[in-house]
Copies of this chain bind each other. A is one copy, B any other.
Amino acid sequence: MIEQNTSRTELAELGEFGLIEHLTRNIILKNESTITGVGDDAAVIKAGDKHLLISTDLLTEGVHFDLTYTPLKHLGYKAAVVNFSDIAAMNGLPKQITVGISPSNRFSVEALEELYSGIYMACDKYGVDLIGGDTTSSAGNLFIAITVIGEAEFEDITYRNTAKSNDLICVSGDLGGAYMGLLLLEREKQAFIADPNMQPELEGYDYILERQLKPEARIDIVKSLKALGIRPTSMIDISDGLASEIKHICKNSKLGCQIYEEKIPIDITTISMAEEFKMDPTIAALSGGEDYELLFTIKQADYDKIKSLSGISVIGHMTELNEGEYLISRSGTAVELKAQGWDAMKKNED
């Protein structure tokens, strides 16, 4: 019915970000109410005198989650929270979500109740209304699509492309924990497959398990920054690892950066788990992903204000584009930053 294009390019050649860029490269926005489209954590639309933030995230079984070790209630909670995090990344507050789920018949009504109870728990905690969605069956895996609507004052909305050279690079909380939690769960799954009588060894690792299974959106940071009168010059949430996210800010702001390994906040549990896996914890922080902390830049003049906010680490500064993107290691060596973030497109090819 329509002429078919006969050449074939594999999805993996472009990767997730490349694919989105490729498929959306020719968009010309038509409506006056569309302020910002594809390319940031959320789109911005104007409605009368207000501005709304809109973001959609998909979670697919076998790619984003493994039901052998993810309780459905946790999955629902996380699916909602990662969407709230996209609104936090724009310096806004989440207000509504729609939820589309596509379960196969192996799910019972009770299983979906568990999933929804997690979604509702997140909605209650963050003051968000579930306003709609769709429920349809799947011939195979479980699929969850959530769209979140958030609010922000227009002048508070924070993009990825507005950092300036010499701005300070800040990160909330600590990094790498969610990834180490994932590795631990995968290890125990393999041990269980090898010997179903084995009891999982999870004791003492509550922190990293919670980081993986029950992350939070840093709406508290959005509120604290506003209370302190700090308007970040750019912001993004850390879903794919610090390296990938800082590179997004660099690319979109047409700048370089220097971050200091010794300044990257990493929890002691993350470090000891990394040691067990004979892995450098800095790698977990740079490339692990799913921490859902906020990465943002501020003017140097705001340094004294940010110092007063606990749980924020200043890890480096933005530089000019031609200065490149570098990690300064503990030994003082400058290493070029590579994004080897958790890429949903590539993961499925293993």
CB of A2 closer than 8 Å to a CB of B: yes
Task: Tell me which residues across on chain B come within 8 A of A271, comparing CB atoms.
Answer: none
CB of A278 closer than 8 Å to a CB of B: no
Bound-state Cα–Cα, A131 to B63, Å:
24
B139 adjacent to A348 (CB under 8 Å): yes
Query: Closest residue to A73 on the B side, CB-wise?
Result: B2
Q: Which of A46-54, A293-301, A310-318, A328-336 contacts B (4 or more CB under 8 A)?
A: A46-54
Copies of this protein in the complex: 2
Closest Cβ–Cβ distance, residue A114 to chain B (whole Å): 7
Closest Cβ–Cβ distance, residue A95 to chain B (whole Å): 5
Bound-state Cα–Cα, A110 to B74, Å:
36
Query: Closest residue to A349 on the B side, CB-wise?
Result: B105
Bound-state Cα–Cα, A272 to B219, Å:
60
CB of A7 closer than 8 Å to a CB of B: yes
Query: Closest residue to A64 on the B side, CB-wise?
Result: B136
Closest Cβ–Cβ distance, residue A174 to chain B (whole Å): 22
Give the interface of A toward B (CB within 8 A).
1-2, 4-14, 16, 19-20, 22-24, 26-27, 29-31, 33-34, 36-38, 42-43, 45, 47-50, 52, 54-64, 71, 73-74, 95-96, 98-105, 107-110, 112-114, 116, 120, 127-141, 143, 145, 147, 149, 151, 213, 344-345, 347-349
